[in-house]
Structure 1
C-alpha cells in the first residue's frame, strides 16, 4: 500500500525552517521510499540535505529550489518555505541518481537514468514514470537522452529548478547533494499506480505565423549552430521575430524593440504556442515563453522551436491560471487505475512565471489543488520550465502545469 505525507515550514533561516519541519514530522514513523524536497533558493542546501539523510537514509531523494517556496494541502508556504513529500510504498521500487550537465546533456541524461534504474534494483525495466528536476537550458536534450532508453512508452514528468528573480541561483538536489548545473532523475515503480496530466491555462488570441529562421543556442563555453531548431527566433514570416510578436500582443513591447532587454514579466500572459494535436476535437498547445529581445529583433525563448513551425499567439488570464491547477490535478487523479477513490496524494509542478502573474491570489491555487486531490497530501513547486507527456509524447514547455497522482 502507498501512503503519502506532506510537510512544510517557513523560517528566516534554514535552521529555523528545518526545526519547523522536525516539529511537524514529530514522532511519526516514516519508512520512506521516495522523498521530494523543494525550497526557496535563499536556503542552505547542505543543511537541508543533512536533515534528509539523517531521517530518510534509505529513500530516493529528488528536488531543488522553487520560486518563492512551495505549496501543499495546508496552503501556500510562501517565501523562505521548505516542503517535503514523503512517499512510503514497501511493495514498490524507487531509485534516484544525479549528475552535472557537463558535455553532451543527452548522454548525461541517458547515463543518469540507467543509474537510477540500478538504484531501484530494476535495471533494464520500464518504469511506470520518470520524474526529473534539472537546471534550465538543456531540457530538450535531456528528454532526448531519456527517450533513447524508454522512448515515449513511459511518461517523463518534472520541472526546471527556479530561483526568486531569474538570476541563476537555482539548484537541484539528489542522492549526492545539491548542484547548480545538474540533473536529478527518479524512476517510479508504484504498487498503487500513477496518474498524470500536463496542461496549460492559455488559449489562442487569433494571430499566428511560420518560424522562418532560427539562430543558435549557446551551450557551455561554445555555441552550437542549430539549423533546424533553437531558442532564438530570428524571423517569423520573413520579418524580425520580435516585431511580429510585438504586433500580436498589442504593441506592449514598443519601448524594448529598439534596445532589447528582458521581457519575461511583460510576456507571462502572452506566450506563443505550438499545436500538438487534438483531444476530443479540442486543440492542445505546448506553450513557449519569450524572455528577451536581442539585437536585430531576435526573440529569445525558454524552449526550443523548429524552423517551419507555425507559432500561435496565446493569451492568459489570472482567473484561468488560478483554476487550471485544480483541473490538472483532477485529470491526473482520474487516470489512476483504481479511480479517484484510490488517491493517496500527489505532486504538482506549477510554472513560476504563472505564480508571479497570479501574485497574491496564489492561496486560491493551493486551495484548488487541495480540493481536486480531496484533501490528500500533496506538494507543489514553482519552476522555470515544465516537462510532461502530452498526446503520448514527452515534451518540454513553459507556463505549463504538471500533476502526478499516486494511488493507494
Structure 2
C-alpha cells in the first residue's frame, strides 16, 4: 500500500489537475482511490471531468473545503485543490454518491450509497475497515445512524461535511460520474494495511450545564425551560466578562461551544461539541448539529493555543491506538472550518504539528462544516469544532 498527495493553486482547473496527476504518478502508477478537496472557487464539474480523464480506472470522491486545504507540504489558502491517492494491489476500494431532494428519505438513501460503495469494491457481504463519508450539511446524524443500522456494528469513519467560504450554500460533492450540491458520498476501504483512528474535541467543560428542554431540529430553543440564547449568554458573560453580540455569535462561540458527554475512558469523560451559529427569532440558538430533548448540555471552553496544537495530538492519539504497529505510511484528517478561521494566522503551525505527528508521511486535511469520526470508546458521532484522523500502518493484516 502506497499513498501520495499533491495540490495546486493554478487558476486553470484542467492544468491544475494535470499537474496534480503528474505528481501523484511520480509516486504511484495506478491509484485505486483518489480523494479530492477543493475551494468553492473551483468548478466541480470541470474537476470531475479532469480527474476522470487523468485516472479513468480509479474510484474518486470530491468534497469542497472552506478557504483552503492542508497536506504534509503545508497549508494552502485561497483558490486551490488537493488530492490524496492510494495504490494497494492487495486491497480493494469502492465509492458511491447520490443527490438528495427535499423529498428524499435520508435513511434509505444513505443505506443505498453504502451498499453501492461496497458492491463497487467487489467485497459484498464484508465489513469495510474504514468508511470515508462526505455529505452536504443537514443530515449527518441520520446518515451515521443508517450506516450503523446497515452494518450492525460501528465501523471506523473519517468524515467531513462539505463546506464553502461563507456558509452560503456554495458547497459541492462529486464522484467519477456526477456532481451535486445536495447529497451523500462514501468511499469504503478494504486496505492491506492496518487502520488506526482518533476523534477529539480538546475542549473542557467549565462547570455550567443544563438540560435541553425544547429542541426543533437544529435549533436549541430552551435550556432548563428558559430561552437558550439567554442561558448561553449568561454562561458566556460569567466566563469572559463580556456580553454576547448576537450578530457575531458564530465567531464568539468558537472557543465556547456546547458539549454533550459521549462516553469516558479511564474515568475521563469525552464530549461531542455543538457550535452555536446564530440566535433564532424566538430566542433559541441555531446549531450546526442536532440536539435531543432531555440531553444534558455543558458549557465548554478552549484556547487558540489548543486549536493550534491539538491536530498533532489527535494524530498522536491515533498512533497510540495502534501501539503495536509500525510507523504510519499515510493518513487522512478532518479539521473544523470554524477552528481554522479562528487560527488562520497560525495554520502553518497547525500543519507543522500534524506533519510531525504523521512522522512526515503523506496526509490530506480539508476544512469542513461538521466532522464525523469514531471515538476511542467505539461511538461514531457527528460534531462541530472537532478533529477526526485515521492512519494507515505498514504492517499487513
TM-score (norm 2): 0.94
Distance 1:247 1:151, change over 3 A: farther
| Structure 1 equivalent of residue 142 of structure 2 | 141
How do residues 165-176 of structure 1 correspond to structure 2 at under 5 angstroms? 165-176=166-177
CA distance in 2, matches of 1:252, 1:104: 44
| Structure 2 equivalent of residue 93 of structure 1 | 92
| Structure 2 equivalent of residue 55 of structure 1 | 54
Distance 1:107 1:373, change over 3 A: same
| Structure 1 equivalent of residue 340 of structure 2 | 355
| Structure 2 equivalent of residue 277 of structure 1 | 263
Offset at residue 23 of structure 1 (A)? 5.2
CA distance in 2, matches of 1:333, 1:55: 33
Ranges in structure 2 where 5+ consecutive residues have no aligned partner: none
| Structure 2 equivalent of residue 184 of structure 1 | 185
Offset at residue 175 of structure 1 (A)? 3.0
Distance 1:25 1:254, change over 3 A: closer
Asked if 1 retains the 8 angstrom alpha-carbon contact of 2:158 and 2:333, the reply is no
| Structure 2 equivalent of residue 226 of structure 1 | none
SS at match of 1:176: coil
Offset at residue 405 of structure 1 (A)? 0.3
How do residues 185-334 of structure 1 correspond to structure 2 at under 5 angstroms? 185-215=186-216, 230-250=217-237, 252=242, 254-256=244-246, 263-334=249-320
Q: Which moved more, 1:395-404 or 1:230-239?
A: 230-239
Distance 1:58 1:252, change over 3 A: farther
Offset at residue 268 of structure 1 (A)? 1.1
1:128 equivalent to 2:129? Answer yes
Offset at residue 15 of structure 1 (A)? 4.2
How do residues 1-150 of structure 1 correspond to structure 2 at under 5 angstroms? 2-15=1-14, 17-22=16-21, 24-25=23-24, 27-102=26-101, 103-150=104-151
SS at match of 2:271: strand
Offset at residue 149 of structure 1 (A)? 1.1
CA distance in 1, matches of 2:244, 2:340: 25
CA distance in 2, matches of 1:90, 1:252: 58
CA distance in 2, matches of 1:362, 1:122: 39
Offset at residue 355 of structure 1 (A)? 0.2
CA distance in 2, matches of 1:367, 1:403: 15
CA distance in 2, matches of 1:27, 1:150: 37
CA distance in 1, matches of 2:45, 2:359: 34
Offset at residue 367 of structure 1 (A)? 0.6
SS at match of 1:266: helix
CA distance in 1, matches of 2:221, 2:69: 36
SS at match of 2:221: strand
Offset at residue 252 of structure 1 (A)? 4.8
CA distance in 2, matches of 1:320, 1:13: 37
| Structure 2 equivalent of residue 223 of structure 1 | none
CA distance in 2, matches of 1:372, 1:342: 10
SS at match of 1:109: helix
SS at match of 1:348: strand
Distance 1:337 1:59, change over 3 A: farther
1:397 equivalent to 2:383? Answer yes
TM-score (norm 1): 0.91
Asked if 1 retains the 8 angstrom alpha-carbon contact of 2:210 and 2:298, the reply is yes
Ranges in structure 1 where 5+ consecutive residues have no aligned partner: 216-229
Asked if 1 retains the 8 angstrom alpha-carbon contact of 2:33 and 2:87, the reply is yes
In the TM superposition, what whole-angstrom CA distance separates every residue of 1:52-101 from its partner, at most 9, and x where no partner exists?
A: 11222222212310011211111011111211111011101100000012
CA distance in 2, matches of 1:294, 1:272: 16
Offset at residue 47 of structure 1 (A)? 2.0
Partner of residue 354 from structure 2, selected from 332, 355, 369: 369
CA distance in 2, matches of 1:272, 1:44: 35
Offset at residue 19 of structure 1 (A)? 4.8
SS at match of 2:254: coil
